Structure 1
Amino acid sequence: MSEELITNIYNAFDPFQPLEPDDPVYVDCHQVRGDENIFRELGKKIIRSKQPTCQLYTGHRGVGKSTELKRLKKHLEEKGFFVVYFAADQEDIDSEDAQYTDILLACTRHILEELENLASPKPLQEWLKGRWESLKGLALTEVSLEKVNLETTISQFAKLTATLKAVPSTRETIRKQVDIHSISLIDALNEFITEAKTNLKDSKLAVIADNLDRIVPVTRVDGRSNHDEIFLDRCGQLRALQCHVIYTVPISLVYSNRATQVRDNYGDCQVLPMIMVRNTDNSVYEPGLKTLKELIGKRVGQFAPDASLDTEIFDKSETIERLCLASGGHVREVMQLMQTALDWTDDFHY
C-alpha cells in the first residue's frame, strides 16, 4: 500500500505535465506573483480589441505558462471565441534548430486542422499546387496534383512540419522553398482565416502558439541570434495573421538589449513571475510559502486526503518549509525537489 501511495504521489509531481483547466489541484498564485492575471493582461486585449492583436508571453521554463495559457483558452471559449492552441515543440519544431518558417508552417497546419469545417481550403490548396514540383522533389509526397483535396492538404502540411522537425538533412531545403513564398502563404492562410471568421460567432478567433520560448538561442557570426531573426526580423509576418495571436517567447530576449525593440514591435510582453518566497531583506514571505505548501498539499491530497502534510508525509513542518524555500518560488523546482525527496522515501508515517 505504501509503495503504491509513494508511486502515485511521485507521478502527481511530474514537472513536465501542465495542468488542464479546472484541474482540482490547481492553485491560484496571482496574489504572490505580483497580482499577475492572464485573463486581464492578455485576455482583456483580445476580448475588447476590434482589430487582430499579437501578444507575447514569457517566463522561466517550468514556471507555469502552459497551465495559464490553457486556462486562458477555456476563458476565451466561454466568451464565445474559437481558440486554436498548440504546443509547437511537440510535433512541429525542433527547439534546438528552429526558424520563422517552421513557426509559420506550424500555425498553418493547426489553423487548417481546427477550422477545416468552417472555410474552404482552396487558397491553401492553390498555394500547395504552386509549390508542388519542389515538394515532390523533396520526396514529401506521392499524391498527384489532381488529387489535392482537404484531406491531402492537411496531411501535406502535417508532413511538412513533421519532416522539418525529424529530418535535418532536408530541413534547410524545405525552409528555402517556403521562405521564398512565405508572403503568399500568409495571404492564402489569411484568406482561409477570413472566411472561417465569417462562419464564427462574432468572428472571434484566437491562436495560441505555446512552447516557442523553448527555442534554443543560436548566435550568428554577426552577434545576432536566431531569436532576433524570428521575433524581430520577422515581426511583421508574425503579426500579419488576421486573428488574435499569442506567441510564447524566450525570456532571455525580453530582458536583453533588444527589449526596447521587442516592446516597440509588440507592446508590453507579459511575464509570468515566480512565486515570491522571500522579502528584499531575505526574510520569509509567509503568503508565498503558504501558497507553495498548498500546491504540495493538493497534489498529495489526491491520494492521501486525510494525511497530515507536516507530520505524516514530511517528518516535520520545518522540512516542507525548507523544500519550498529551496525552490526559490519556481514551480518546476518544487516538482523536481518533491520527486527527488520521494526517491529517498520508502515509507510514510501515514
Structure 2
Amino acid sequence: MSLDLLQFYRACNPSKPIDMSASEREKYYIDFSAVRSRNIIDELQANITLFSPNTATCQLFAGHIGCGKSTELLYLKSILEDAGFYVVYFEASQLLDLADVDIGEILLAIATYLSQHFPPAIAPEATGIWQSLLREIWKVFNREFQLGSMPHSVQIATETLQKENQHPSLSSELRTISTYAKHSPELRWKLRQYLEPRLNLILQAINTEVIEPAMIDLQQQGYKGLVTIVDNLDRLEAIEKPWGRLQTEYLFVDRAEQLCKLNCHMVYAIPLTLIFSTEFGRLVQRFGSDPKVLPAIPVRDRRGQIFPPGIDLLQQMVLARAFPDVARERRLERLPQVFDNAQPLERLCYISGGHPRNLLRLLHRWIEKERQLPLSRNVLEVAIRERCHQLLLSLSEPEKDLLRRVADRQRISPTENSQLLLHNLFVFEYQDEDGSWFDLNPILLEAPAFAR
C-alpha cells in the first residue's frame, strides 16, 4: 500500500506531541536517551517511585522549546501511570497569558486542572475555603464590569455562590475566572491584588480541599500517589516586571516557596534560560535539587564529526510517522516511498541540529513545497535556504560575533544573552560523557557568515 501524502503531512505536525496512550506509544515513541548520555525521564520517575513514593516532591524540567519536552513529559505520565500513580498533566498556556503571569494565577490553574481531571466521584465542589474565596473574587470582577455589560456567566456564578445550599463545580468556577483573567489585563491586575495577600489561604484550600481528600479516595482505589505535571511554563516570556525583576526569575526563584508547598508530587517545565542565569544557585537552593535538562539529539560530536547514532534515531522518528503500523526494523525498507533516496532524509536530520520540532517544521515546509511523494533533495535545499535567510535577517553584526564566540568555545556564560542564543534557537545544547557542550544551529552554518 502506498503512503498517503496528506496523512503523512498531518502526522508530521510540529505543534502536536505524539499520543502517549499505550497502543500509540509503541508505534511513535523513539527513545533518544542513549545518545543524550542519560535517561532524564527515568531519573524524574525514580525520584517519585523509588526514592519518595509517599512524600511530596517538586522537580524542574528544562530544555529548548521544541526539543521534545512535552513528548517526554507525556511519556513520563504514561510510565508513572503504569507504576500505579494517578497523574494529572496540563499545559499552563491554556489558562495563563505567559507574557504576564503571577504566582496566584499559577496556583489557580493547578487547582483548576486537578479538580477537573479527578474522577467525577471525587471532583471537589466550591465549598469551605473555596466558597468564600470565589465569592470575593466574583465581587472583584463584578466591580470591574460596567452596569448592564456584565457577562451572563459572571452573574450566574455570583448568584450561585451566594446561595449557601448550592455548591457549583470548583473546576468550572476556577476555569471561568482564569479565562477572564487571561484575556483581560485589567481583571488580571485586580485578581492579582486580591490573591497576593491570600496566597497561604489559597495553598491551604488546594491542599486540604482538593489534594488531600482526593489522595484518600485515590489510595482506596489502589493508586500509589498523585503526580501533577505542569507543562509549557518553559514558554514564559523573560520580560521585566514593573519593579525590574525578570518574570522567569521572579516566579521560579522569588516565589519558589509557594510552588513547592503543594502536597503532591509536582513536575514543572521551566525556561532553559534559568539554567544559565546568575540566579541558578538560588534556584537550586529553593527547590532543593538541580533541574533536569533535556538536551538536543547530537548530529555531530563536540569535535565536529558526524554522529551516526543520533541521525539514525532521528530517521526512525520520521519513518515512524510515515509507517506507524510497520515494525521498526522494517521501516527503513519503505524509505523509497517517502524520499527519492536515503541522502535527503540524512540531510534533513543533520540540518535540524537534533531539534525535533525544527526537523518536523522543515519537513512540513518541504512537503508543502513538493506536494508529492517521493520527496526530493532539490526541494529540501530550497526550504533550507529559506530558513537560513529568515534566521540571518533577525541577527545584528554584534549578535553574529557573539554566536561565533559561542561556537568557538562551545559554552555559554551567565553574562551572555542566553535569551537570544537559546530561546531563539540559534544555539543548541548537547550532552555526552564529558558533560554539556553547545553548537550553532546547523542551518546557520549554511550561511557564509558562519561557514567553517
**TM-score if structure 2 supplies the norm length?**
0.71
- Residue of structure 1 equivalent to 2:217: 199
Partner SS for 2:34: helix
Return the alpha-carbon distance in structure 2 between the equivalents of residues 347 and 136 of structure 1. Answer: 56
Aligned equivalents of 1:308, 1:349: Cα separation in 2: 14
Match of 1:227 in 2: 248
Kindly provide the CA deviation profile for residues 27-51 of structure 1, in whole angstroms up to 9, marking residues without a partner as x: 111111112240x211111123132
Instruction: Considering Cα pairs closer than 8 Å and 6+ residues apart, tell me whether 1 or 2 has the greater RCO.
Output: 1
Aligned residue among 373, 376, 380 for 1:348: 373
Return the offset for 1:11.
1.3
Amino acid corresponding to residue 58 of structure 1 in structure 2: A
Q: CA deviation at 1:132?
A: 4.9
Q: 1:33 to 1:148 in 2, by over 3 A?
A: farther
Distance 1:120 1:346 in 2: 51
- Contact 1:13–1:339 under 8 Å retained in 2: yes
* Alignment: residue pair count: 347
200-209 or 58-67, which deviates more: 200-209
1:291-336 Cα shifts (integer Å, max 9, x gaps): 0111111112249998855544222222211111100000001101
> Unaligned stretches of 5+ in structure 1?
none
Please tell me whether residue 287 in structure 1 is matched to residue 322 in structure 2. no
Aligned to 2:427: none
Other-structure match for 2:354: 329
Matched with 1:175 is: 192
Distance 1:158 1:237 in 2: 20
Q: More displaced, 124-133 or 262-271?
A: 124-133
Match of 1:44 among 36, 46, 66: 46
Where does residue 297 of structure 2 map in the other structure? 275
Cα separation, partners in 2 of 1:329 and 1:64, compared to 1, 3 Å: same
Q: Spell out the pairing of 1:219-258 with structure 2 (5 A cutoff).
A: 219-220=240-241, 223-258=244-279
Q: 1:188 aligns with which of 191, 197, 205?
A: 205
Unaligned runs of at least 5 residues, structure 2: 145-149, 376-452
Name which of 70, 77, 80 aligns with 2:81: 77
| In 2, Cα distance between equivalents of 1:221 and 1:171 | 15
Larger Rg: 2
Structure 1 residues 231-240 or 219-228, which shifts more? 219-228
Shift of 1:239: 0.6
Distance 1:98 1:35 in 2: 33
- 2:140/2:190 contact within 8 Å kept: no
CA drift of 1:241 comes to 0.7
**Separation in 1 of the partners of 2:182 and 2:362?**
32
- Indicate the SS of the match to 1:86: strand
Q: Is the aligned partner of 1:95 residue 2:109? A: no
Give CA deviations for 1:76-128 in whole Å, capped at 9, x if unaligned.
222221111111112x1012222222211101111222236336543322432
Moved more, 55-64 or 107-116: 107-116
Q: SS at the partner of 1:55? A: strand
Match of 1:6 in 2: 5
Task: Give RMSD over aligned pairs.
Answer: 2.5
| CA gap 1:206/1:331 in 2 versus in 1, 3 angstroms | same
